[in-house]
Amino acid sequence: MQNRNIVILGSTGSIGTQTLDVVRRDEKLKVIGLTAHSNIVLLETQILEFMPQVVCVVQEDKAVELQNRLKALKIQTEVVSGEKGLLTVATLQQAELVITAVVGMVGLLPTIEAIKNGKNIALANKETLVTAGEIVMQLARENHASIIPVDSEHSAIFQCLQGNDRSSVSKLILTASGGPFRDYSYERLQQITVEDALKHPNWVMGHKITIDSATLMNKGLEVIEAKHLFDISLSQIEVIVHKESIIHSMVEYQDGSTIAQLGYPDMRHPISYAIYYPKRIDTPYIEKLNLSRVKTLSFEEPRVDLFPCLQLAYEALEIGGTMPAVLNAANEVVVESFLNRQVSFMEIPKIIHKVMQKHICIDRPTLNDILECDKWAREYSRRKVEKC
Ligand code: NDP
Ligand code: MG
């Protein structure tokens, strides 16, 4: 393989650091751009190891601080800042692959610009497709940019589709761990603290997605992501709770065969698959599955009565237009408020529902419509949070 230049947006996060762990084992992968929001301590360590051409620190004062530190160390890496800086890194001329691992809708515009510049995308940032899936997928087709999923369920489905005729797919089956409160009663759910919600049983991830996993909104966002990535109708997407997180998702075909992708939960697998696709490389650092040790694989229906976020996501997708962007924006605001202890766990779906009810949906939205509705939904959600 020839050298490949890659950029990682959100390199200081959970996916970002695991991506760098894959990258550091292959000298042919050259990191030319990295970004962080404010964690310049970790970003500096990454700069010293990978020597990228450019980094972006979104928070301006932190960018200046990092610039001064690099100057003192006589490091040549250029530092850019703000959300504009994210666009600079996402569109670096020599970049061949952009890994989008920032959290939240902030990933949308850099991903769009990267696609417009013909970059291939390894997509972890699911909010990009949730908010503007049609626009992003259309742009990717027009610019011949491939979007390879990093989200483990979508990577699994993508792998299960390889070599098969898309028109013979009858169903996509997304597995869900069910989160830490899978077996809780309504009464117990009222008592949940931030600390409880941050303890995911199978995965170590960033705070936002960990809370989304506990509310099942993560699965809802993934249903929307799957619809756009695989161009399939909502009625052909099923969610099943599989608490062991060994089967990462499945594809059912018309001939009655169901193909699944299995492995221990380790995001370095979907990350390396996305980087090297269509090749599979040897990854001795990823533990191989031992089914006799796993023993049992269990499955059950999701409890939408207790975890209404999944249902809200289905509704948003069914309504379409700007509604999924509004669902996403409300969720980002309310989850942050939950992490700041301003709202309770059970208030999360209630507030999102209120914001969706208030929204006047725009069909066939432009990017600008989506950005405007995102802004409105954030403001309205904040007002609702203040009333709690
Ligand atoms: P983390 O919170 O761990 O990391 C987020 C990254 O984005 C950090 O580099 C952070 O910088 C940066 N960031 C945060 N806010 C902003 C902002 N406003 N502008 C620009 N950059 C920002 O998140 P994860 O790695 O867990 O998740 C990243 C994405 O991948 C999410 O969309 C998530 O849904 C998806 N995903 C994650 C999985 C996982 O296992 N973690 C699995 C599947 C999908 P800083 O460190 O400076 O704050
Ligand atoms: Mg996932």
For residue range 343-364, list pLDDT tens digits in order.
999 999 999 999 999 999 999 9
Return all residues near 324 (Cβ < 8 A) that are at least 6 apart.
Answer: 130, 131, 133, 224, 313, 316, 317
Residue 202 Cβ < 6 Å to ligand 1: no
Q: What angle do CA 238, 150, 337 make, to 5 degrees?
A: 80
Query: For the segment 261-284, what is each residue's pLDDT rounded down to a tens digit?
Result: 999 999 999 999 999 999 999 999
- Nearest residue by C-alpha to atom 21 in ligand 1: 37
How far from 319 is each of 242, 293, 361, CA to CA, in Å? Answer: 28, 44, 8
Helix axis angle, 14-23 relative to 268-276, nearest 10°? Answer: 60
Residue 101 Cβ < 6 Å to ligand 1: yes
| Number of domains within the chain | 2
141 and 161, same domain (yes or no): no
Residue 278 lies in a domain: no
For residue 151, how far is its CA from the centre of ligand 1 (angstroms)?
12
Which strand ranges, in their side-by-side order, compose the sheet holding 4-9? 78-81, 54-57, 29-36, 4-9, 97-100, 120-123, 147-149
215 and 136, same domain (yes or no): no
Q: For 147, list phi and psi in degrees, rounded to 5.
A: -115, 110
21 and 102, same domain (yes or no): yes
**Is the four-CA dihedral 294, 298, 304, 310 of positive or negative sign?**
positive
Query: For the segment 222-268, what is each residue's pLDDT rounded down to a tens digit?
Result: 999 999 999 999 999 999 999 999 999 999 999 999 999 999 999 99
185 and 247, same domain (yes or no): yes
Whether residue 118 contacts residue 143, with contact meaning beta carbons closer than 8 Å, is answered with yes
Residue 376 lies in a domain: no
Across the chain, what does the average pLDDT equal?
A: 97
pLDDT at 201: 83
Q: How confident is the model at residue 160 (pLDDT cuts 50, 70, 90)?
A: very high
Which of 37, 202, 266 for a ligand 1 pocket mutation test, highest count of atoms within 8 Å of Cβ?
A: 37
Domain hosting residue 14, numbered range: 4-149
Residue 16 Cβ < 6 Å to ligand 1: yes
DSSP class of residue 265 equals: S
* Statement: residue 1 has pLDDT above 80: no
Give the percent of the chain with pLDDT over 70: 100
102 and 180, same domain (yes or no): no
Picking from 116, 149, 182, the residue at the C-terminal end of a domain is 149
Distance CA 362, CA 266 (A): 39
DSSP class of residue 300 equals: B
Picking from 115, 149, 183, the residue at the C-terminal end of a domain is 149
Residue range 24-31: mean pLDDT, rounded? 97
pTM: 0.98
77 and 220, same domain (yes or no): no
Which of 14, 35, 106 for a ligand 1 pocket mutation test, highest count of atoms within 8 Å of Cβ?
A: 14
Residue range 153-175: mean pLDDT, rounded? 98
Give the percent of the chain with pLDDT over 90: 98
Residue 105 Cβ < 6 Å to ligand 1: no
Residue 170 lies in a domain: yes
96 and 234, same domain (yes or no): no
Place of tokens 């608490």: 243
Return all residues near 360 (Cβ < 8 A) that are at least 6 apart.
Answer: none
Residue 190, helix vs strand vs coil: coil
Residue 125 Cβ < 6 Å to ligand 1: yes
Q: How confident is the model at residue 3 (pLDDT cuts 50, 70, 90)?
A: confident
